[in-house]
């Protein structure tokens, strides 16, 4: 069984100011998504599904088909691609979209867009984040081991200290888990950064209190593993969410919220996997030079070929 990779690429990156998923940061113009696809293929994934916006679907799809046309899985088979669209009006029947709404419905809504295209265990990642080879290997192995499973999901947790930006504060969901490694909650913290004293601090999103955080604490970077039954459970949660929030123009339906609801209802449990990989991405424009330098370092050391695809 080859798991599927679901890439969330519909966001335009308001702080970054452009379609950062298409920005070339590698030595030969590679995008961050290009590296994720490369690592996923090496880890045994066989299909990639992109969630995009209608406004740039055509150029995105054309770029992907040209770039990856020669990519083969380790067994020699071609890598499959699908494209689905996330738009505000894609909501269950019986609900009327608030005309004031301009914000997307969030990451859990984006995942639901792929319901008809995915029928096997699958991973979810952000299109603008670099997760590292080890992370895809860990997640791919977990997905293959849970083929046919029901209500058993996972999240790849990154050490908080490996996810910070030198250009400003970031938001991270800190994972709490029990003795068996099962997720109990994800607590969002805002404006996280390392101080001059070397301590990492952030604002608890619920209490507003500025607290010292453990740099080794596992946090969510939106790298999840699901079996296909997730779609039906998540859709049920989305209906409940809309009943309460259909008229709220800014409320978003995030994966941690959906997961928390499913866990509370006893429909799901989520294993927290740890990775030694260091996450990085372009959260701010100022992050870009460091990301470019990192990919050049990878190429110089032979971690990745350059160009990545020929």
What is the number of domains present in the chain? 1
Residue 307 lies in a domain: no
Average pLDDT in the 193-211 region?
90
Spell 77-103 as b/e; 16+ CB within 10 A means b.
eebebbbbebeeeebeeeeeeeeebee
Residue 22 binned pLDDT confidence (cut-offs 50, 70, 90): low
Residue 310 lies in a domain: no
Return mean pLDDT, the chain: 90
Residue 16 binned pLDDT confidence (cut-offs 50, 70, 90): very low
Cβ neighbourhood burial of 144 (10 Å; 0-12, 13-18, 19+): middle
For the stretch 255-268, pLDDT in tens is 999 999 999 999 99
Which token pair is 33?
């998504």
Residue 35 binned pLDDT confidence (cut-offs 50, 70, 90): very high
Spell 276-309 as b/e; 16+ CB within 10 A means b.
ebbbbbbbbeebbeebbeebeebbeeeebeeebe
d(CA 48, CA 83): 9
Residue 306 lies in a domain: no
Give the helix/strand (H/E) hosting 62.
Answer: helix 54-68
**What CATH number does the domain containing 148 carry?**
3.90.550.10
Average pLDDT in the 152-162 region?
95
Residue 183 lies in a domain: yes
Give the helix/strand (H/E) hosting 83.
Answer: strand 80-85
Spell 29-48 as b/e; 16+ CB within 10 A means b.
ebbbbbbbbbbbbebbbbbb
Per the DSSP assignment, residues forming a β-bridge with 157 are: 220, 274
Contact 36, 125 (CB under 8 A): yes
pLDDT value of residue 205: 84
Residue 74 has pLDDT above 90, yes or no: no
Contact 200, 193 (CB under 8 A): yes
Torsion of CA 297, 298, 301, 307, to 10 degrees: -110
How many CB atoms sit inside 10 A of residue 174's CB?
20
Residue 230 lies in a domain: yes
CA 17 vs. chain centroid, Å, equals: 20
Residue 13 has pLDDT above 70, yes or no: no
Residue 283 has pLDDT above 80, yes or no: no
Owning domain of residue 58: 4-301
d(CA 202, CA 186): 15
Contact 163, 148 (CB under 8 A): no
Prediction pTM value: 0.92
Residue 104 binned pLDDT confidence (cut-offs 50, 70, 90): confident
Average pLDDT in the 129-141 region?
96
Closest to 113 (Cα-Cα) out of 251, 256, 253, 264: 253
Cβ neighbourhood burial of 258 (10 Å; 0-12, 13-18, 19+): buried
pLDDT value of residue 88: 86
- 40 to each of 2, 74, 134, 271, how far by Cα in Å? 10, 11, 10, 20
d(CA 288, CA 70): 28
How many residues are there in the chain?
310
Residue 239 lies in a domain: yes
Q: Which of 173-182, 228-237, 238-247, 282-291 has the lowest mean pLDDT?
A: 282-291
Residue 145 lies in a domain: yes
Contact 42, 133 (CB under 8 A): yes
């Amino acid at each position: 069984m080859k798991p599927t990779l679901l890439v969330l690429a519909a966001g335009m990156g308001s702080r970054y100011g452009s379609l950062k998923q298409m920005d070339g940061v590698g030595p030969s113009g590679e995008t961050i998504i290009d590296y994720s696809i490369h690592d996923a293929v090496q880890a045994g994934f066989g299909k990639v599904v992109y969630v995009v916006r209608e406004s740039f679907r055509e150029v995105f799809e054309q770029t992907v088909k040209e770039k990856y046309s020669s990519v083969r899985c380790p067994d020699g088979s071609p890598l499959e691609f699908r494209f689905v669209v996330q738009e505000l009006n894609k909501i269950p029947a019986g609900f009327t979209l608030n005309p004031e709404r301009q914000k997307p419905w969030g990451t859990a809504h984006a995942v639901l867009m792929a319901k008809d295209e995915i029928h096997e265990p699958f991973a979810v990642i952000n299109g603008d984040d670099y997760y590292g080879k080890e992370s895809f290997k860990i997640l791919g192995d977990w997905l293959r081991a849970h083929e046919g499973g029901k209500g058993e999901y996972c999240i790849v947790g990154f050490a908080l200290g490996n996810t910070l930006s030198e250009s400003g504060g970031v938001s991270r969901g800190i994972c709490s888990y029990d003795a068996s490694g099962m997720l109990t909650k994800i607590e969002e913290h805002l404006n996280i950064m390392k101080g001059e004293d070397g301590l990492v601090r952030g604002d608890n999103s619920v209490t507003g209190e500025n607290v010292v955080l453990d740099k080794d604490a596992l946090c969510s970077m939106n790298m999840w593993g699901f079996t296909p039954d997730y779609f039906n459970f998540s859709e049920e949660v989305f209906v409940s969410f809309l009943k309460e929030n259909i008229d709220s123009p800014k409320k978003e339906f995030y994966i941690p919220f959906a997961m928390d609801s499913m866990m509370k209802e006893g429909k799901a449990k989520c294993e927290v996997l740890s990775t030694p990989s260091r996450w990085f991405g372009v959260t701010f424009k100022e992050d870009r030079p460091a990301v470019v330098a990192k990919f050049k370092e990878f190429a110089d050391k032979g971690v990745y070929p350059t160009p990545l695809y020929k």
